[in-house]
Structures are given as C-alpha cells and as structure tokens.
C-alpha cells in the first residue's frame, strides 16, 4: 500500500481527520511490522479552538502544531498516557489530528483486536515522546498507508474529554467509522 504524503496532510484538519478513517497506521519494531486500521480520529484546529493546545499561543510544548504537515505530535497526559497526533494544514497554522482508535485485522480483514482509546493505541504500538516530531510520510518507524474502504460511513460526534473548552466542547470534531 502507498504511504500518505505531505500533500494529504496539508489540507483542512477536518478533512484529514475523516480521510484518515480506514487508512492503516503502521509501526516497524525491528523486523516486526504492526498494522492497524484507523477507526477513530479527532480534530484540533486553530487559535479559536479552546480544546487545542494552541488556543493560548505557541509554546515549547505545542510548537510542533505550528510546523510542517505530516509530522507526529506526541505528548503525555496525566503523567502516564502518551497521545499520538498528526500535524495537518499549512506551517504556522496550529492543527493536529488525534488518532483515538484502531483495529488490528487478520489476513481476511476480520477484527483481531480493537484498541479503542488513544492511550491503549500508543501503549500497544510503543509510541512515546521519542516519536515527537518524526516525519510519518517516510517509511521508517511509523507511517500511515492509504486505506481501501469504499463508501465509508462516518459518525460525527463531540470530542472526548474536552468539557473545559466552553462552546468548543460541542463541536462535532470526533469522527468514527460506522457500520
């Protein structure tokens, strides 16, 4: 399968979030390859998004959100869970897509295991702070391959765990593959 390139990520974050559904997150660990279909994403976009790390401006922690599309943005929450995001849109505009869920599939496309939560996903894939800033458009340690789902149904809902974000908490920027 083909790896998603910078042009794919250099689009509106909401589009990237939805287009990532059905694509495959791939992790190379030594000689082993782990591959799982992306089933849930969430968008964080711009300075006006109070749920975004960028809502208070550029900091050392979030500076990657202002960088080049197609890079990983990882950070620790609650001092123990890593989150994995992909930078989207143009440089200097803060935008990222949180990968919230994946499904490991067998050779026939049947579900072997669901990783329904961003912390479960990063733990299983071994994604941590060392991945912060890596270019995921290169086939090195971590990348995303194009999916092949035709006529996919996308369920839009409120983002998870952002009740502090005032009016932004109601934005339907969580996207899941539906049946």
**What's the pLDDT at 127?**
96
Arithmetic mean of pLDDT over the chain: 93
Ramachandran quadrant class, 22 (left: phi over 0; alpha: psi -120 to 50; beta: rest): left
How high is the pLDDT of residue 149? 82
The pair of structure tokens assigned to 75 is 């950070």
Read off the pLDDT band of 151 (50, 70, 90): confident
Tell me what the mean pLDDT of segment 10-30 comes to: 96
Going by pLDDT thresholds of 50, 70 and 90, the confidence category of residue 26 is: very high
**CATH for 6-177, options being 2.60.40.10, 3.10.300.10, 3.40.47.10, 3.30.1360.120:** 3.10.300.10
- What is the arithmetic mean of pLDDT over 101-125? 91
pLDDT at residue 179 greater than cutoff 80: no
pLDDT at 79: 84
Neighbours of 123 (CB within 10 A): 15
Q: Which of 43, 38, 14, 17 is nearest to 27 (CA)?
A: 38
User: What does the pLDDT average to over 10-35?
Assistant: 95
Examine the pLDDT at 109 and tell me if it is beyond 90. no
- pLDDT of 61 reads 84
Above 90 in pLDDT, residue 150? no
pLDDT mean over 129-149: 94
The predicted structure's pLDDT at residue 62: 87
Share of the chain above pLDDT 90, in %: 80
Q: Which residue has the higher pLDDT, 78 or 173?
A: 173
pTM of the model: 0.94
CA pair distance 152, 39, nearest whole angstrom: 11
Q: Where are the domains of the chain?
A: 6-177
């Amino acid at each position: 399968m083909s790896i998603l390139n910078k042009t794919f990520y250099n689009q509106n974050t909401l589009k990237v979030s939805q287009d990532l559904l059905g694509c495959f997150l791939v992790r190379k660990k030594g000689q082993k390859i782990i591959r799982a279909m992306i089933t849930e994403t969430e968008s964080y976009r711009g300075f006006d998004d109070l749920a975004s790390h960028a809502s208070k401006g550029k900091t050392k922690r979030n500076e990657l959100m202002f960088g080049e599309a197609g890079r990983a943005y990882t950070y620790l929450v609650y001092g123990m869970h890593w989150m994995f995001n992909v930078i989207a849109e143009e440089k200097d505009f803060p935008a990222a897509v949180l990968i919230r869920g994946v499904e490991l599939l067998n050779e026939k496309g049947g579900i072997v295991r669901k990783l329904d939560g961003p912390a479960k996903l990063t733990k299983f894939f071994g994604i941590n702070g060392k991945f912060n800033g890596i270019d995921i458009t290169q086939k090195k340690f971590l990348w995303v391959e194009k999916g092949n789902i035709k006529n996919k149904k996308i369920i839009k809902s409120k983002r998870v765990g952002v009740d502090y974000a005032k009016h932004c908490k109601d934005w339907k920027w969580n996207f899941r593959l539906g049946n």
